[in-house]
Amino acid sequence: MTIDLAPSPASTRASSPVHEDGFGVYVHWPFCRAKCPYCDFNSHVRHGGIDEARFLSAYLAELAYFASLAPARSVASVFFGGGTPSLMQAETVAAILEAIAKHWRLDGNAEITLEANPTSVEAARFAGYRAAGVNRLSLGVQALDDTSLKALGRQHNADEALAALDLAKRHFGRVSFDLIYAREGQTARGWRDELSLALGHAADHLSLYQLTIEPGTPFAARHEAGTLRTPNGAEARAQYLLTQELCEAAGLPAYEVSNHARPGSESRHNLLYWRGHDYAGIGPGAHSRIAVDGVKRALATIKSPEDWRASVEASGHGLASDEALSADEAAEEYLLMGMRLSEGIDLERFAAIGGRGLDEARIASLAEDGLVRRDGSRLAATPKGRLVLDRLIVELARG
C-alpha cells in the first residue's frame, strides 16, 4: 500500500524527542538465486558468484560509519533483510553481529531476525545462523500449492516450504512466514483453505501480503498486456477481510495492515519502524532514519551492490542521499507509518514532532463516520477505516 502525501511547505527542522526509545539496525543483503517476476526489491542475481569476504569488509566499514553518526545507542533489534540473506554464510552473519555489539550496546534480549528462502540449500544453514546469534527467522513461503509457487517464479515447492518451516521451528525461538494472496486465479474459497492450512503450521507471527503489481516488473508487463489477471477490487477486499477474520479466530490478530501475531510476539523491528524510532540501514539500497542533534535525517545508500561497495571502499560509506527532514515531513511520516498499526498514533507525540497537532474537527468528523477511534491521546483506524487507509491518512494530513 503506497501513498503520496502533499509536499510539506514547512521549512522548520524536525526535532525527535523520543529517539532514544529503541534503535534498530537493518542489514540489506541484495543477492538472490533468481529474480521473482513480481518483485521490485533491491535484489540482484550474480551467476558468477560474489566475493563475500570483500562485501563483508564493506559492511563492516559502513557499520563503523553509522556508529560514528549515531553513537552510544542501545540496539533493540537487528534485521537481515533482502534479497536473500539466507545466501549469506553464517560466518558473515556472525561477523556483522559482532561488529554491531562492538560499536553499540546490543540489548541482552535484542530481537535478531534473518529472512530466509525455503530451499533445502538455504535451510541447511539454520543451525549456523542460530549459533551466530539469530533468534528469529522469517521464511518466504509465499504460497502453499505448487502451481502457484511456479507461477510466482519460486525455487521451492510446498513440501520444501513446510519442511523448512519445521526445521526453522526447531532452531529458532521465534518464527514467522510470508504468504502472498490475491494471486492470479485465486478465489476467497481457495484462500480460506490455504490460509487455514498455513494457520495450522503458524508459530507466533505471519506476514500476509496482497499481491502488488509493481511497475517495471515482468508481472506489470503481463498485467498491462492482459495476460495476468489478478482478483478485482471487490474480490481482493473479500480476501483481505477473510484474512482478518481467520487470523483473529486463530489468535493471531493483525497488529499492522499485513502483519499478524500472537499478542506479545509482534516483530519488534517492524514496530520500531512504524512507531517512528531511529534505525541505521547498512548495505546496498538501505534506508535509515537517525536523529542527529535533534534533527531527524533520512539517509539512503547506493542501490547497485558493486557501486555501493566501491563507494564504501573509497570513502567509508555508500550513501546516495542524506537529508534533514522538516518538522512537517517528520510528523507526516510518523502519521503515515503509525496509522498502519492497530494501536495507531499518539497525538501528543505527533504534535511534539511536527510542532502542531492534527485538526480536531476533522478527527471528530472521521470518528463520526466510523473511520477512526480516539482514545485519550491515541488515534487509530477502525476496521472500516483500514479499508480506505490511504485516503484516510491524506485526509488527516491535510493542514
212: partner contacted, choices ligand SAM, ligand SF4, none (Cβ within 5-8 A by kind): ligand SAM
Stretch that binds ligand SF4, among 54-62, 81-89, 276-284, 385-393 (CB under 6 A): 81-89
Stretch that binds ligand SF4, among 15-23, 78-86, 260-268, 337-345 (CB under 6 A): 78-86
**Residues between 110 and 149 that touch ligand SF4 (CB under 6 A):** 117, 140
Considering only CA atoms, which of 284, 292, 258, 294 is closest in space to residue 273?
A: 258
Phi, psi of 12 (to 5 degrees): -70, 155
Smallest gap from Cβ 181 to ligand SAM, in A, equals 9
Helix, strand and coil in the chain, % to nearest 5: 40, 25, 35
Q: Which residue in 26, 29, 38, 80 binds ligand SAM (CB under 6 A)?
A: 38
Instruction: Name 44's bridge partners.
Output: 31
Asked if 387 interacts with ligand SF4 (CB under 6 A), we say no
- Quote the CA–CA distance of 326 and 196 in Å, as a whole number: 45
Stretch that binds ligand SF4, among 28-36, 62-70, 94-102, 280-288 (CB under 6 A): 28-36
**C-alpha distances in Å from residue 210, one per residue of 101, 143, 220, 258, 336:** 36, 12, 15, 8, 19
Smallest gap from Cβ 36 to ligand SF4, in A, equals 3
ω into 83 cis (within 30 of 0): yes
- Quote the CA–CA distance of 292 and 56 in Å, as a whole number: 27
What residue type is 317 in one-letter code? H
CA angle in degrees (0–180, nearest 5) for 66-20-176:
80
Q: Which residue in 13, 41, 298, 343 binds ligand SF4 (CB under 6 A)?
A: 41
Instruction: Name 79's bridge partners.
Output: 26, 113
Asked if 65 interacts with ligand SAM (CB under 6 A), we say no
Smallest gap from Cβ 133 to ligand SF4, in A, equals 23
- SS3 state of residue 388: coil
- Quote the CA–CA distance of 259 and 207 in Å, as a whole number: 5
Considering only CA atoms, which of 280, 254, 278 is closest in space to residue 267?
A: 254
Asked if 43 interacts with ligand SF4 (CB under 6 A), we say yes
Helix (H) or strand (E) holding 179: strand 174-181
Binding mask 73-112 for ligand SAM (x = CB under 6 A): ---------x-x----------------------------
Would you say 60 or 211 has its CB closer to ligand SAM?
211
Asked if 96 interacts with ligand SF4 (CB under 6 A), we say no
Q: Which residue in 142, 186, 239, 288 binds ligand SAM (CB under 6 A)?
A: 142
Q: Which residue in 56, 112, 132, 211 binds ligand SAM (CB under 6 A)?
A: 211
Binding mask 314-343 for ligand SAM (x = CB under 6 A): ------------------------------
281: partner contacted, choices ligand SAM, ligand SF4, none (Cβ within 5-8 A by kind): none
Asked if 178 interacts with ligand SAM (CB under 6 A), we say yes
The contacts of residue 348 (CB under 8 Å, 6+ apart) are 377
Phi-psi label, residue 142: left if phi above 0, alpha if psi -120 to 50, beta otherwise: left
What residue type is 119 in one-letter code? T
Contact 29, 82 (CB under 8 A): yes
Smallest gap from Cβ 244 to ligand SAM, in A, equals 17
35: partner contacted, choices ligand SF4, ligand SAM, none (Cβ within 5-8 A by kind): ligand SF4
Instruction: Name 205's bridge partners.
Output: 176, 261
Residues that bind ligand SF4 (CB under 6 A): 32, 35-36, 39, 41, 43, 82-84, 117, 140
Residues that bind ligand SAM (CB under 6 A): 38-39, 41, 82, 84, 115, 117, 140, 142, 178, 180, 209, 211-212, 214
